[in-house]
Structure formats: structure tokens, C-alpha cells
Amino acid sequence: MTVAVFYKLLAIFLTVALGWVAGRLRWLASGAAGSDPARVLSNAAFYIFVPALLFRTTARLDFASQPWRTVAAFFVPVLMLAAAVYFWQRRSAPGLGTAAPSVRAISASFGNTVQLGIPLSAALFGEAGLAIHIAVVSLHALVLLTTLTVMVELDLARARNRHEATASTIKTLAQTLQNTIIHPVVLPVLAGLIWNATGIGLHPVVDEALAGLGLAVVPVCLVLIGLTLAHYGLAGGARGAIGISLAKLMLLPALVLAVAHWGFGVSGLPLSVVVMMAALPVGSTALVFSQRYATLEAEASAAIVVSTVAFALTASFWLALLTWMA
């Protein structure tokens, strides 16, 4: 554990603590009946800041220069784990809510790749490793958020169809397609891809505005974690958080190591980068996702905190294993 990474961990906890204090002292409460500052902040992140980040990232993405084998070596096992958690939860925990499988899937697969991952890669692997990390990060939210959004919207459509026995198949499919596309995650991704294909590029003023909005994602989400913890506490989702943390910190990097090394033939620096990226703690986007669908918010916030604390130990294990393999 380098000093730079340790400082980043401390900064994360300080920001979360600020959100917790704000929640306990009701700094953001308006006084109106039923007001929920955590929900307001979550909506701001999901409808303003995250779409700006996704659109700008997609519109500026250089597909020709991506190290596609390394990218695939990371995302194939990550999506495998997300799918496994999703289908397992659909079968074993139907009483938790329609969106619960997707919420737990994103919690077990979506890492803190920016605020913690970037300084980690820079400190451990230098400029060459950071370049690989950034290449994967550029697709991280696009792939995982879009995939799991489609899955949860399909589940919600099926649930609506069960309650509306008279609804036609065509009407259900049309409603599902509309809810999936006209969505604060999917729509900016599609719009960004279309803009990217035009080759026009972003005007500097637009680019700067989107960049400023995108920068707000991390601090807003960290404060949101603190607000949620102040409301639910750690105990409310501790059991599920421990399981998710084990999956994220131990199972996912082991799966990425096996698939990347023996499945895709990745070795050396690229292998170390993708394994350590998989070993990162749960990202704050998981809480925003859970807030969006009002499902397992306490568990998602607890998983972020528990996995971030445990990362100090598990990161050392994976670094030692990668050093031994090298």
C-alpha cells in the first residue's frame, strides 16, 4: 500500500464522514414533510452529473486506439460475475424486490476505478500502466451501467406485465423499449455514440461544461454514501455487504486473473493492471443505482464502506500474488 493510495483512502472516508455528519445534523433537510436529501442528491447525480459524464466519455472515445484484447480480458469475467450474481439472486432471493438482482450484481462488479483506481495504477505501474487503466475506465461505466440498466428495466417490465394481465405483448415490448432507451444512463450513451460517429467533436464550451458536471459525480456520490449511512446505519445492510465485499475483493479479481491469463493470454503489466482494477472496492455508482430503483440502499452503502476498509488488506494480497507470478 503506497502513501498516495493510503491518502486517497483517507480522503474517501473524510468525504463520506462529511455526508454522514450532514445527514445526522440534517444540514440538507428542507423541513418539508417527507423530504429526503439523499433522494434529491441521488436524483441530481443520476439525472445530471452521470449523464454528462457518460455522454462526454462516449462522444470523445477513440475506439481505434483501444487495447481490445486487454479490455475484453477484463470485461468478459466482470460481466460473467455480474450475470452469475444476477441470476442467482433472481432464483434465491425473490422477496427482496424486482430490482434487487441487478442492484446486487452491480455492487459485486462495479469498482471505484476513478478516485481510488487511477492513483493506484499511477503509483504501482507508472505511466504505461495508467494508460491501460484509463483505456478500461473509459468503457467501465458504459458497459456495466448500460448492461445492468437493460436487465433491471426488463425485470420491471415483466413485473408490470404480471400485474396487468390485459396488456398486450406489443404494448409491453414498446413500453420496455421506451423505458430502456429514454433512461438517464442509456440515452446519453446512445447520444454520445451517435455524436462520436459524426466525427464533429465537441465544442470547447460544451466540452468544458460537460467536464465540470462530470467532475461532480465522485464527491456527490461520496456525500450520498454518508447521508445514506446516517439514515440506515451499517447494521441495516451488514450481512449482505460482507458477501458483496467478498465477491468484489476476492472472487472478481480471481476470476479476472484466470480468464485474462489463461483465457486471453494476457501477462505482465496488462495482467497486473486488470487484476488490481478488478480488486478495487465497490464504487459509489452502485449506491446511485440502488437509489434510482429504491432497492437495498442500506446494503449498497454498507458494501462500499466495508469493501473500502477491507481493500487495505486484500490489495496487499493481490499485489503479492502478482509479484510471485511475475
Q: Report how far Cα 134 is from the mean position of its chain's Cα atoms.
A: 15
Q: Which CATH number fits domain 3-10+36-325: 1.10.287, 2.50.20, 1.20.1530, 3.40.50?
A: 1.20.1530
As a whole number, mean pLDDT of residues 308-314 equals 87
| pLDDT interval class at 162 (50, 70, 90) | low
Distance of alpha carbon 89 from alpha carbon 102, whole angstroms: 9
Report domain extents, the chain: 3-10+36-325
**Single-letter amino acid code for the residue at 262:** W
By three-state DSSP, how is residue 267 classified? coil
> In what helix (H) or strand (E) does residue 36 lie, and over which residues does it extend?
none
The conformation of residue 283, written as its DSSP 8-state character, comes to P
Q: Which residues contact 67 (CB under 8 A, 6 or more apart)?
A: 132, 135, 270
Distance of alpha carbon 57 from alpha carbon 89, whole angstroms: 31
By three-state DSSP, how is residue 288 classified? helix
pLDDT of the residue at 33: 45
- Which grid coordinates are listed for 283? 464504487
As a whole number, mean pLDDT of residues 146-162 equals 83
- What are residue 302's DSSP bridge partners? none
Q: Is the pLDDT of residue 183 over 80?
A: no
Q: What is the pLDDT of residues 198-252, one digit of tens each?
A: 999 899 999 999 999 988 888 887 888 788 778 777 766 788 899 999 999 999 9
| pLDDT interval class at 176 (50, 70, 90) | low
Q: What is the pLDDT of residues 57-80, one digit of tens each?
A: 888 888 888 889 999 999 999 999
Distance of alpha carbon 27 from alpha carbon 20, whole angstroms: 10
As a whole number, mean pLDDT of residues 29-57 equals 78
- 225, 14 contact by CB (below 8 A): no
What percentage of the chain has pLDDT greater than the value 90? 31
Q: Is the pLDDT of residue 5 over 70?
A: no
- Which grid coordinates are listed for 50? 452521470
Provide the b/e sequence for 33-45 (b: ≥16 CB within 10 Å): eeebbbbebbeeb
- 196, 58 contact by CB (below 8 A): yes
pLDDT of the residue at 282: 92
- Which grid coordinates are listed for 258? 484466470
The neighbour count for residue 117, using CB atoms within 10 Å, is 26
pLDDT of the residue at 247: 96
Q: What is the pLDDT of residues 254-297, one digit of tens each?
A: 999 999 999 999 999 999 999 999 999 998 888 888 988 888 98
pLDDT, mean over the chain:
85
pLDDT of the residue at 119: 73
